[in-house]
Chains A and B, each alone.
Chain A
Amino acid sequence: MLDEAWFAWTLIAGMGLVAFFTRAVFVLPGSHLRLPATAERVLRYAPAAALMAIVVPDLALVHGTLSISIENPRLVAGLVAFALAAGTRSILATIVGGMTVLLLVRSLAG
């Protein structure tokens, strides 16, 4: 238990440093540092790739097995959420709509 607490606090400190570093890296030195063009290109693709890599397994895997089916409530709700996010650009509409579909599909699937 003590180990777990130590681990969580270290994680929080580490993430805090990472979050501050990414925001301060150019602002804090205050010099005329420029971002190299190659770095800028990589930075364009990494965040969307990371978020998609986290979201997709959460929708398509059920207990570790691929489940592409309209009976997979998380997959159906996730796809609806993608459509809602694209259509409304609203976090609230995406969350409320996605949760509604999740509970609906789950109740229909029994």
Chain B
Amino acid sequence: MTLREPGSALREGALASAPLLVGIVPWGVVAGVAMVSAGLTQAQAVAMSLLVFAGSAQLAVLPLLIAKAPLWLMCATALVVNLRYVIYSAVLAPHFEHLSRPWRALLSYITVDGTFALFVGKYRPEDAKPHKHWFFLGGSLVMWAGWQISSCVGIFAGALIPPSWSLEFAATLALIAVLVPLLFDRAVVCGALAAGAVALAAAKWPLNLGLLAAIAAGVAVGLAVARLGAPRAGRG
């Protein structure tokens, strides 16, 4: 199939991503509520939604903000939670290298998990489809708009919800929903369990440094389990 016009590729991408809104909208509302209940003003919460546009990083940093952790640790946490995007960026780079710099900046800013997965499933890097970036843009714009609108609903309507509902716990539940699909093999599961155990043991460390120790332990255990399992199980 050839995509003759940018408009049809844009529309096709938007339609393909639209079903993913079911997942992103409740998450956006929860993130909006959580940002305000963590002490951000409404203007700051809107700015965070627009500038950061990374739900799991935003939700991961909020407990640290409440605990008054240092700035560098919160940025480091956002970096680690966002590391999956480095992989996406490496995969996407050959698809977009012929585009202008503003295009590449826009497509970078707007990359999200769901649309990335659809795009990679549909196109090979060597495909010379001239309008495939329009498909990516269409899908990403749908997700971007869904995220921003639902975040604003949470930011501005969240204050009406009584604290006794413990809606802040919904942020933890949303992180669980994001975490589970990442647990795709035994090494990742072992690494994650080790990280959870170290996080518990190191919960009282100053400056929330236990979090970094937990991540380091998780990566080390994951690598070790993968190395032990590799000779028998083979690759992939």
A interface list, Cβ under 8 A from B? 4-5, 7-16, 18-35, 40-61, 64, 66, 74, 77-78, 81-82, 85-86, 89-92, 94-95, 98-99, 102-103
| CB <8 Å contact, B218 and A91 | no
Residues of B within 8 A of A25 (CB): 86, 89-90
Sorted nearest first, the 3 A-B pairs with minimum C-beta distance are A49-B218, A45-B222, A16-B51
| CB <8 Å contact, A22 and B89 | yes
Residues of B within 8 A of A85 (CB): 176-177, 179-181
Residues of B within 8 A of A24 (CB): 89, 104-105, 108-109
Report the nearest A residue to B179, measured CB to CB: A51
For residue B117, CB closer than 8 A to chain A, the reply is no
| CB <8 Å contact, A86 and B180 | yes
Residues of B within 8 A of A82 (CB): 176, 180
| CB <8 Å contact, A53 and B198 | yes
CB distance from A57 to the nearest CB of B (A): 5
Judged by DSSP, the binding face of B is helix
| CB <8 Å contact, B111 and A23 | yes
Judged by DSSP, the binding face of A is helix
Scoring B80, B180, B191, B214 by chain A CB atoms within 10 A of each residue's CB, the highest score goes to B180
Interchain CB contact (< 8 A) of B215 among A27, A46, A56, A78 = A46
| CB <8 Å contact, A52 and B47 | no
Given contacts A18-B82, A49-B192, are A28 and B104 in contact (CB under 8 A)? Answer: yes
Residues of A within 8 A of B39 (CB): 4, 8
| CB <8 Å contact, A64 and B169 | no
Scoring A49, A86, A89 by chain B CB atoms within 10 A of each residue's CB, the highest score goes to A49
Given contacts A22-B82, A52-B218, A55-B175, 10 further A-B contacts (CB under 8 A): A23-B108, A26-B86, A30-B96, A35-B87, A45-B223, A49-B219, A91-B24, A92-B26, A99-B169, A103-B165
